Structure 1
Amino acid sequence: MGQVLFQSKQKTTKRPFVLVTVMLAMFMAAIEATIVATAMPAIVAELGDFSLYSWVFSSYLLMNAVTVLIYGKLSDLFGRKPILTIGIILFLIGSILCGLATSMEWLIFARFVQGFGAGAVMPIATTIVGDIYTKEERASIQGYLSSVWGISAIMGPAIGGLLVEFVSWRFVFWINVPLGILAIIGLYLFLHENIEKKKPQIDYIGAILLTIAVTAFMFVLVEGGVRWTWLSFPILFLIGISIISIIAFVIYERKIDEPMMPFELWSERSILIANLTSLTTGVILIGLSSFLPTFVQGVMEQKAIIAGLTLTTMSIGWPIASMISGKAILTIGFRTTSLIGGLSLVVGTTIFIFLSSENSPIMAAAGSFLIGIGMGLTLTAFIVSIQSTVSWNKRGVATATNMFMRNVGSTIGAALLGGILNSKIMQYFSDHGVKDNLNLDSTTTLLDQSKRSDLSEEARNLLQNGLEFALHHVFIFIFGFAIISFLLILFLPKSKRADT
């Protein structure tokens, strides 16, 4: 196993500058989440194919999920700097391709590339902080890292809304290029690692099996009940492939010496609960990010910048709670901090169940803020807890495993909730005898103000009511995952020893 030593930190690795560089890399990924969600209604209005809406998120999240563990393992073998650099470069290539897209299919492919690089950014950036700071310092530094979400939350939707209205949605992707270049320069100027060379054992088979399992399951969630009936041969075949692949993955990972997911980590109860809860909160996160702007623009008839601001409050609450969480875990403990966060998730998602076209966007913003508080309290506690539990040569993959579970949750969530959205819209149209000239793709007209004004009052009401009906069911599912998250947190150990 390779080992990275940060010798003479004051003379070689300049911790304050490394922290700034890491925050810049994280900002690049964080602003991507808020700025793309804000721009998506405009993107789908121009490119069409509303049925592929969720794939824009699912494709990115899929590659992010299946590569995050590989990057975490590679960073333990080769060091953080070269692997993070490769990830940033791939992310930038994907961003450029996204901005050049002329169809939804092209955009989805480009998001695959972008997600392939994004898998390195968050886990390795967070792991670098775990390497160069002590346990007590990490609790405070995690708060600084989470402030990146607040900054991106304020700038992302605002910039995204302005670019969509006055320039082009393509620039929401191209804005990543200068940020990524600056992050790479900072890494090579300020982060210095002495790496003990060992012959690496990379788990390619595990990565392939996991990719097949997640991809097949994602197809089931997106297309089940829409393109294929739930008991059709394609759906049953994909379910079988997914189950066989995940079983083969678990068996194989338990047999090899250097697995991409060391299952012995899961024997620690706090890590097990943290990972399972990250899975369910990942569903909540993608559900809010993907569909709240659509509700605000399509149902409430608000502008893109207003839709972005309702999402902004989540990322404002997140860093505020993270800074509180960093201090709280040292006083009231991981479990109590996480429980407060879990309760905030439940209250926040409850608000969305009662959201309607007559409500003010302020109500949506309030629910979004509470979810941000819940995310900040729980996820910060989980990361600090995990990094304090494992040794250096497991820290990269342990951190990556937690983020992998959150990414898998987001991947499954985007597919599941996207499938629910499409099927419920079709159900509403069927129940109300919609005319042949209105279909699933007709919903995109609600997301473009000029096209919406051209609709007849009857058609507009029908489309808006159908979209509201479908999104209401999406929000109910999100609430259900918040309840599951809170119940899981109850199983965290009441006291836990965290080694420095």
Structure 2
Amino acid sequence: MKIRGTEVTDISTKRVDWRALWASGDLARFCFISLGILLHATNETMVATVMPAMIGELAGVQLVGWSLAIYELGAIVAGAAAGRLVSYVALRTNMMVAALLYAAGALICATAPSMQLFLAGRLIEGLGGGALVSLAFVSVERLFPRAIWPQLFGIMSAIWGVAAFSGPMLGAVMTELLSWRWAFGIFVFGGAAMALASFVVLDTPEAARPSAGAGKAPPFPFVALGCLAVAVVLIASAGVDIALLRSSLLMVLGLVGLVLFFRVDALKPKSRLFPSQLFSWRTPVGSGMTMVAAFSVATCSFAIYGPLLLTTLHHIPLLTTGYIIAAESIAWSILSILVANAPQERERSIIVIGALMIATGLAGFAYAIPAGSIPLILVCALLQGGGFGVAWPFLTRVIVASAPGDEQTIASAAVPTMQRIGYAVGAALAGIVANASGFSQGLNQDAAADVATWLFLAFVPLGIIGCLAALRTSTTANRLPEAVG
């Protein structure tokens, strides 16, 4: 196979000729495109370690849960939009606009005089970052031959691992040496540089023109995503100022909004984000997506509040807490690679083991965080992250393989989309639990001690639901075709 006349694969061995790929300029182009993933993921993991210093300056601890909820909401909407916008607007233009949005959001965060304005910046950052990630995957499909997709996607996974390690470290180092504001300021320059370079690097015909006419592109799910946005905002609002009647009403309305979102999505087959029978436990798709949703919602608490609680309660350095969070993501990546080639007959037990690891880590945090034991906290983080790494490759295969033939593409994209929705909702719910447990009265040791326990115990029921869904999903795993996934 060739890229603009250059052989990139050895026909006899099917191996990628990386020297030819570099000589053609496409490897450098791919590395540039992947910077969008690095910008997004590093910022996402960094925010936890800057949070204690930021709260000390801006106050608004009751709004901490919004920082991830708003960011993920922007990423969900932009990620869904970007894949369709390339049908109308050139990939290069999309990349430039996304990078500029990202830089603008980072600038607002870096200069925000209040938590409210900081959250506005996080929303804009999420829109830009989510679009950059989606466009990176679109770029692989549009600009590179199918023969080397697996290798390119593997590099993307490695980039996520680098971001997971470097993000918390960057946040902690910048906060301790300069200011938490400079931690965001760096991304202003990164986003602006990527926007300017897009016109030079993405100079191929495939990147400089739209991919299809307006009539060929699927409609964009405005109504469904609008329902999702309103639902997340309502749930997050319920936890800002805890009052029984007001908070209960907002929570109910938010949950109704989520149900409406999934209902509207199901009624729009040409633009929907999820396969049919989404949460039906009668199918592996339904029980598998239930497992994804339950664990995604349940496991946000440590990434959002862990550094804040450990610093407030036990005076543990930010860099230490940052590396614990990074260890969780790295365990996910490493164990995912280690189990990827496991035989299919072990798939059922692997999914269940992964689910039990996640639930154990989640429950363990309820003891380890108040106790302040760094080794125990690290074990819980490794269990939680490693559980995802063990279960997710096989869970994804089961979901995609068991979906109807015309829904398998939707099903493959639905897993990361459901994760992002779960993270947004989980962050909002974590804010409610944290504020109800004491943070609504301000940040102090007594409040942090109460929050440290309830913030994790409250999500244990969802961990149990995730384990039950894993058992249900795994009952049909061994009967799925081996050729898929």
Partner residue in 2 for 1:440: 441
Does 1:58 pair with 2:69?
yes
Partner residue in 1 for 2:103: 92
Partner residue in 2 for 1:449: none
TM-score (norm 1): 0.77
Asked whether the 8 Å contact 2:287–2:469 carries over to 1, the reply is yes
Of all paired residues, the percent bearing the same amino acid is 20
Asked whether the 8 Å contact 2:438–2:447 carries over to 1, the reply is yes
TM-fit CA distance, 1:93: 1.6
Asked whether the 8 Å contact 2:285–2:403 carries over to 1, the reply is no
Asked whether the 8 Å contact 1:90–1:114 carries over to 2, the reply is yes
2:54 equivalent among 43, 47, 51: 43
1:377 equivalent among 372, 376, 390: 390
TM-fit CA distance, 1:385: 6.0
Does 1:342 pair with 2:355?
yes
Separation of aligned partners in 1, 2:157 and 2:149: 14
SS at match of 1:215: helix
Letter in 1 for 2:392: L
Distance change >3 Å, CA 248–CA 154, structure 1 → 2: closer
Q: After superposition, what is the alpha-carbon deviation per residue over 1:408-458, rounded to whole angstroms, capped at 9, x for unaligned?
A: 2112211211211121127xxxxxxxxxxxx822x2xxxxxxxxxxxxxxx
Letter in 2 for 1:303: P
Partner residue in 2 for 1:105: 116
Partner residue in 2 for 1:159: 170
> More deviation in 44-53 or 283-292?
283-292
Partner residue in 2 for 1:474: 455
Partner residue in 1 for 2:465: 484
TM-fit CA distance, 1:178: 4.5
1:494 equivalent among 469, 477, 481: 477
Partner residue in 2 for 1:361: 374
Partner residue in 2 for 1:456: none
Partner residue in 2 for 1:227: 242
Does 1:314 pair with 2:328?
yes
Partner residue in 1 for 2:16: none
TM-fit CA distance, 1:319: 1.7
SS at match of 2:365: helix
Letter in 1 for 2:451: A
Distance change >3 Å, CA 278–CA 142, structure 1 → 2: farther
Q: After superposition, what is the alpha-carbon deviation per residue over 1:79-100, rounded to whole angstroms, capped at 9, x for unaligned?
A: 8665455433322221111111
Does 1:406 pair with 2:419?
yes
Separation of aligned partners in 1, 2:87 and 2:339: 27
1:176 equivalent among 173, 187, 209: 187
Asked whether the 8 Å contact 1:18–1:191 carries over to 2, the reply is no
Separation of aligned partners in 2, 1:335 and 1:86: 44
Q: After superposition, what is the alpha-carbon deviation per residue over 1:96-142, rounded to whole angstroms, capped at 9, x for unaligned?
A: 1111111111101111211222332444535655776769974x765
Q: How many residues align?
A: 455
Separation of aligned partners in 1, 2:189 and 2:27: 21
TM-fit CA distance, 1:298: 0.9
Asked whether the 8 Å contact 1:14–1:191 carries over to 2, the reply is no
TM-fit CA distance, 1:169: 0.6
Distance change >3 Å, CA 202–CA 135, structure 1 → 2: same
Distance change >3 Å, CA 490–CA 124, structure 1 → 2: farther
Structure 1 regions of 5+ residues with no counterpart? 1-5, 427-438, 444-462
> More deviation in 88-97 or 40-49?
88-97
Separation of aligned partners in 2, 1:71 and 1:392: 25
Partner residue in 2 for 1:351: 364
Distance change >3 Å, CA 281–CA 159, structure 1 → 2: same
TM-fit CA distance, 1:218: 3.0
Partner residue in 2 for 1:30: 41
Separation of aligned partners in 1, 2:68 and 2:140: 28
Partner residue in 2 for 1:120: 131
TM-fit CA distance, 1:313: 1.2
Partner residue in 2 for 1:436: none
TM-fit CA distance, 1:372: 1.7
Partner residue in 2 for 1:294: 308
Separation of aligned partners in 2, 1:487 and 1:206: 29
TM-fit CA distance, 1:407: 1.6
Partner residue in 1 for 2:80: 69
1:326 equivalent among 322, 340, 348: 340
Separation of aligned partners in 1, 2:314 and 2:180: 21
Does 1:422 pair with 2:435?
yes
Structure 2 regions of 5+ residues with no counterpart? 9-20
TM-fit CA distance, 1:333: 6.3
Separation of aligned partners in 2, 1:129 and 1:477: 41
Distance change >3 Å, CA 421–CA 360, structure 1 → 2: same
Asked whether the 8 Å contact 1:280–1:482 carries over to 2, the reply is yes
- CA RMSD in angstroms, aligned pairs only: 3.8
TM-fit CA distance, 1:26: 1.6
TM-score (norm 2): 0.80
TM-fit CA distance, 1:35: 1.3
TM-fit CA distance, 1:491: 2.2
Asked whether the 8 Å contact 2:87–2:211 carries over to 1, the reply is no
Asked whether the 8 Å contact 1:315–1:372 carries over to 2, the reply is yes
Partner residue in 2 for 1:149: 160
Partner residue in 1 for 2:211: 195
Distance change >3 Å, CA 397–CA 25, structure 1 → 2: farther
Does 1:261 pair with 2:261?
no
Asked whether the 8 Å contact 1:316–1:372 carries over to 2, the reply is yes
Separation of aligned partners in 1, 2:256 and 2:447: 37
Letter in 2 for 1:91: Y
Asked whether the 8 Å contact 1:76–1:396 carries over to 2, the reply is no
TM-fit CA distance, 1:289: 0.6
SS at match of 1:327: coil
TM-fit CA distance, 1:60: 1.6
Does 1:217 pair with 2:235?
yes
Separation of aligned partners in 1, 2:417 and 2:191: 22
TM-fit CA distance, 1:392: 12
